[in-house]
Structure 1
């Protein structure tokens, strides 16, 4: 089973790059634990080089550079840094019937046992009791631009904002049951709660993952993303619409990760979301089914 701290916890569009990093690092941890590399050995550190004294100017540059690279290499290993990238296809906005392909570069690092950074923000493990875990999150929400799709013209932009949140998760064999809370400060000023279950299974160097989740949003969030005010109706031609709090969507994702060795991994993932309730009924929504897919490769130091 994947280490608990690297499981999927957020599924919003802006988190795509961070999600990829989390999953690839999880697979890397799993690969190392199962010793899937040919040698099973941990990467060896570059031998330390002591810079020569300043009275030998001709030989200062190369040893100093080697020493600096050694320090950088050790830091990348200590912080469990993952670098990678890929491509993702997804609706141009939540509810769109058209798709966009976008790159997903990412970097992720772990500081000590409890603090982690990825493109979605900073997370901190707060407390654990047996198989029950609690963590806090500081991230961001990118909002929505009306030029993301021609269908949004006249609706105006939803500004970006900070995200304050937390997660509670419980492990049970190959499954993890989780619930996340996200409060957006600035931008939509809305709140989302996601709950779901994550399953994973390893066969040799392959790791198979399935995740099923549902997302609830408050009235402020729903009205920001799916409502149409009188002014927006006049500017866009869409009918006026009031979106109330409730279940926003359900999501199912299936993925497979292949570990070439203890460093290199490649992952393919397919997802299907379905909008519900007032979100699905919104005149902004062109299609309730929201499929997506990604392919990514990562390297862990």
Structure 2
């Protein structure tokens, strides 16, 4: 955690310390109080952009703004743009976290290729994150259940190698994602009705490994407050996700760039 520095002007020596306000001293403003609270919460605020496929399996990409908001409310609860995380267990490299987030679904207006398939509504996501640190490698498992929307279950298994150089941190690692039948059918299946409306061939998408990814990320501390983060992911659809007529291209790269201020 980085300290929030307070600059004080030189003052004459006093005979003794007292908690009473000194003559001419001003009361702390609401802004000072807010900054002190943000420091206590280890808050990071900023933003950037992300370049990714218009939908999973798309040939075209979209550029979208990305907010960067992170805060720790004590040792057990943290919040970021993905939702709320509860640190349930952390001992000798093994950690278990519960997560409540959201899934935005998919809009058929996002791309003309999706016309006739209908929208996939948004839904709540209940997640369980397991991690084991075997420095410099971390092994992770992320289990997500979507309630509403696609109403599916996914399990992501990954490993990442991390190394640091002074103010710079770098990480690289592979992962693969398994999805159940509901998740696969929602995003990659084409029913008889959808086929008639969209012109795509009818397709049943079964449970299985839907994609593999290689992620590279870097973080650089410009000073004790300003942080820059970049990320590049090379994804590739597999199984029924790759064979689906919804998918235009199996190679699914994305990149993200963020700048934040740490209190």
Is the structural similarity TM-score above 0.5?
yes
Instruction: Tell me what 2:188 maps to.
Output: 226
In structure 2, the residue corresponding to 1:221 is in which secondary structure? Answer: helix
Aligned to 1:13: none
The aligned residue for residue 44 of structure 1 is 5
Q: Deviations over 1:259-299 (max 9, x none)?
A: 11111111222110000000000000000000111221111
1:203 equivalenced with 2:175 (yes/no): no
Deviations 1:171-211 (A, max 9, x none): 00111101011000011110000010021111222211112
Superposition pairs of residues 116-265 of structure 1, within 5 angstroms = 116-265=78-227
Question: Is this contact kept in 1: 2:185–2:204, CA < 8 A?
Answer: yes
Q: Residue 55 of structure 2: which of 81, 85, 93 is its match?
A: 93
Contiguous gaps of at least 5 residues in structure 2 = 9-19
Q: 1: distance between equivalents of 2:90 and 2:4?
A: 30
In the aligned structure 1, how far is the partner of 2:36 from the partner of 2:30? 10
2:169–2:220 contact (8 Å) kept in structure 1: yes
1:71 and 1:288 map into 2 onto residues whose CA distance is 50
Q: Which runs of 5+ in 1 are unaligned?
A: 1-28, 33-41, 52-58
CA distance in 2 between partners of 1:279 and 1:164 (Å): 23
Greater percentage in strand:
2
Q: Which residue of 1 aligns with 2:29?
A: 67
For the residues of structure 2 that align with 1:177 and 1:253, how far apart are their CA atoms?
Answer: 14
Given that 1:46 and 1:73 are in contact with CA atoms closer than 8 Å, whether structure 2 keeps it comes out as: no
Q: Does 1:102 align with 2:56?
A: no
> Match of 2:16?
none
What count of residue pairs does the alignment treat as equivalent? 252
For the pair shown, the structure with the greater C-alpha radius of gyration is: 2
Cα RMSD (Å):
2.1
Secondary structure at 1:232 match in 2: helix
What is the TM-score with the length of structure 2 in the denominator?
Answer: 0.91
Moved over 6 A (4+): none
More helix by proportion, 1 or 2? 1
Which residue of structure 1 lines up, in the alignment, with residue 44 of structure 2? 82
Aligned partners of 2:68 and 2:258 also within 8 Å: no
